A and B are shown apart, each in its own frame.
Chain A
Amino acid sequence: MFRGQRFYTFARYAVVVVFSALLAFPFYWMLITTFKQTSDLYNLAGNPFLFNQKPTLANLHLLFFETDYLRWMGNTALVGAIVVAITLLLALPAAYALARLTGRWGQQLGIGIFLTYLVPPTLLFIPLSRVVSILGLQDTIWSLVVVYPSFTVPFSTWLLMGFFKSIPRELEDAAMVDGLTRFAAFVKLVIPISISGILTVVIFTFSLVTQEFVYALTFISPDTNQMLQVGVPTFLVRGDVYFWGSLMAGCLIASIPIAILYNLFLDRFIAGFTVGAVK
C-alpha cells in the first residue's frame, strides 16, 4: 500500500513536469530566440539550446524602432479599452435585468444570450465584411470596435448575471425602502460592491480582444492600422524572409502580460464556462 502511494506521487510529479515542459516550451524558445544573433539562429552546427555567439539586443531594437510594433500595441490597447467600455455599458444593466427583473424568463434569456457566444467569427465574417465597408469602417480599427462586442457582450452578461445572483436581494430591498429607486440602488450599491466581477469582465474582454484573429485579418489591410495579433505574423514577414528573432520577441512580449492577468481571474472564467454544471 505504502509503495503504491509513493508510486502515484512520483507519477503525478512526472506528469506535471512533462506536460508543463511541453506546453511552455514554445515560449521558452521565443525567449532564447529573442536574444540570439541571426547568424547564430541559422548556424546548423551549434547546439540551438545554447548561445553559440554573444547574446544581442538587436532583434528587440529592430522590433521597436524599425517596425510598426509599438503602433500595433497602441491600436490593440485602444481597441481593447473602447470595447471594454462598450461591453460594460451594455452587459452590466443587461446582466442585472436578467438576474433580478425578468423573473423566470431571466434564466432562459441568459442561456439564449450565452449561446450567441458560440456563433463563430468564421460564420459571420463574410457578411460583416460587407456591412463594415457599407459603414465606411474598413481598414480602420473602428470596424473592430463595432464588431468585437458581438462576442464580448454575451459572455460578460452571462458572467455578471451569475455574479449578481449571488448578491443578497435584501441589499437593494433595504435601499428601496429607504427611498432609492431600483435603478439608483443598482448604480449606487450593486455596482460598487461588484468591482471584482467587473474586473473579471474587463480582463476577459481584453484577452478576447487580443486573441481575435479572423475579423482583424479580414477588415484591416494597411499595416499601420493593424492589431498586434495580425501585424506580427503577417507584416513582420517581408516577402519570404522571416526575422525570427524579432518575430519571437514580438510574440513573447505580447503574450506574457495578458497571461499574468488572466491567471488572477481564472476561477471566475471557469465558473462562467461550466454553465452551472459545477456548483
Chain B
Amino acid sequence: MAVNPVDPAGVLRPSPAGMGGGTPPPGRRGFSQYFLTPSARATWLGLGMFGPALLYIAAIVGVPFVLAFLYAFSDVRVGSAGFHFVGLANFRSILESPSFRQALQNSIVFTVVSNVLVLIGSTILALALKEKFRGRGFVRFLMLLPWVAPISLGAIGWKWMLDSLYSVINWVLVALHFFPPYDAPMWLGEPHLAMASVILVQTWRLLPFSTVILLAGLTAIPKDIPEAAAVDGAGFWRAMFQITIPMILPIVNVAVLFGIIFTFTDMTVVYILTAGGPYDSTQVLPSLAFFTGIQGGDLAQGAAISLFLVPILVAVAYLMLRMAHRAEVV
C-alpha cells in the first residue's frame, strides 16, 4: 500500500529562498531558545505535545483497567457506597455457576468458529478481488457494508430476516421444498440454531474487514514473483500454496488477531439477536458480564467475569508487539 499523503506534485517542497522570505523577526524568539540546547528543547516540546494524550488515556483507560481488577476482588454493587475486599469470593462463585461455564465455552466456540469461517471466506474473496475489473469500486462498497454500518443496526436487519414467522430465509427454504410450510426452523429459538445464527452474523460482520486487509497484503506482492514462478512452470495451486500464501502470512496474522479481539470481546450481535438465550445457549462472557454487572447491579461479579477477557488480550498484544518489531527490523 504505497500511500503518499504528501502533496505528490511537490508544490509544497520548501523553496531554497526560505519560507515566508526575509530575515526572522528576532523579537519572536522565545525564552527557551536562549537557555536550552536544541535537543533538550525538542525533548521538552515532545513531552508537552505527547503529555495531554498520555494523561487522557491513562485517566480513561488506565484507571478503569486497574479498577476492574479491584472491583473483581470486592463487593461493589450499584447503589451502595461500601467497598470491602472479599478475596477470591467472586471468582469462586462465578466458577461454580453453570451460566458462567456455559458462557466461557460459548465464547470460545463463537470466536474460533466465526474466525475460521472468516479466514476461509476472506481468503477466497480477496483472491477474487485482486485483479482490477469493471465495477470493482461498487463491489467493494457493497461488500464493506456489514463492517462499516453500525453493527447493532446490521444485527437488527438479521433479526428480521431470522424472524420466527416471517423469515425470508425460511420462505425461500419452504419455496424450495426443504421444509413443509409452518415447520421451518426457529433460528433464534432453538439452542444450536441460535448459536449457529450468532456465529453466522458475526462472520458476516467480520468478513469485509478481513478481506480488505488480505487484499492489501496481496496487492503488495511484487508482480514479477508470481510471473517468474509461472515461467518456471508452477501451476495455480502450486503458486498459491508455495508463493502467495507464505508471502501474505504476516498480514493474515494481523487480520486474525484483530478478528479474535473483535469477536471475543464483543457482545453486540449476541445482545441484539438472542440476549444470550435461549437458556444461556448463546451467552458469551461480555454479555454475561453486562447482565450480571449492569442489569443485575452486581458490579463486582461483572468485573470478575470480564477479567476472563484479559488473557486473550495479553496474548494478542504480545503477538502484535512481536510483529511490529519484526516489521521495524526488516
Contact = CB atoms under 8 A, between A and B. Distances in A.
Contacts of A79: none
B327 A255 contact: no
20 contacts: A15-B125, A19-B121, A26-B146, A97-B47, A98-B50, A118-B316, A120-B286, A122-B265, A122-B306, A130-B67, A131-B64, A131-B67, A166-B5, A179-B28, A197-B5, A233-B272, A255-B153, A260-B141, A276-B327, A278-B250
B64 A16 contact: no
A124 B208 contact: no
A279 B220 contact: yes
Given A30-B157, A127-B303, A275 B18 contact: no
B128 A12 contact: yes
Contacts of B145: 23-24, 27, 255, 259
A27 B52 CA distance: 41
B231 interface: no
Contact of B153 (A107, A147, A153, A229): A229
A211 B289 CA distance: 20
Interface in A67-96: 89-91, 93-94, 96
Give the bracket for the number of chain A residues in contact with chain B. 35 or more
A19 B125 contact: yes
B5 A126 contact: no
A247 B152 CA distance: 12
Question: B interface, by DSSP: helix, strand, loop or mixed?
Answer: helix
A218 B124 contact: no
Interface string A131-160: 100000000000000110110011001000
B121 A122 contact: no
Contacts of B316: 118
Interface of A: 4, 8, 11-13, 15-16, 19-20, 22-24, 26-27, 29-30, 33, 41-42, 44, 47-49, 89-91, 93-94, 96-98, 100-102, 107, 109, 111, 113, 115-116, 118-131, 146-147, 149-150, 153-154, 157, 163, 166-168, 170-171, 174-175, 177-183, 189, 193-194, 196-197, 207, 210-211, 213-214, 217-218, 228-230, 232-233, 242, 244, 247-248, 250-251, 254-256, 258-260, 262-263, 266-268, 270-271, 273-279
Which of B150, B236, B299 has the most chain A CB atoms closer than 10 A to its own CB?
B150
B290 A122 contact: yes
B108 interface: no
Given A119-B61, A122-B309, A213-B151, A278 B216 contact: yes
Interface residues of B, number: 119
A205 to B, nearest CB: 14
Interface string B64-83: 11011001000010000000
B19 interface: yes
Given A149-B60, A278-B217, 14 more contacts: A12-B131, A15-B128, A19-B207, A94-B53, A113-B54, A120-B286, A120-B309, A126-B294, A126-B303, A182-B42, A207-B148, A213-B271, A229-B150, A276-B327
A233 B60 contact: no
Contacts of A94: 49-50, 52-54
A265 to B, nearest CB: 10
Interface in B4-53: 4-7, 12-14, 18-20, 23-26, 28-30, 33, 41-43, 45-50, 52-53
A19 B124 CA distance: 10
A124 B321 CA distance: 22
A116 B309 CA distance: 14
Contacts of B60: 128, 146-147, 149-150
Contacts of B4: 166
B268 interface: yes
B143 A20 contact: yes
A82 B28 CA distance: 33
Contacts of B127: 12, 15
A28 to B, nearest CB: 9
A213 B268 contact: yes
Which of A22, A90, A274 has the most chain B CB atoms closer than 10 A to its own CB?
A274
A174 B304 CA distance: 55
Interface in B99-149: 121, 124-125, 127-129, 131, 133, 139-146, 148-149
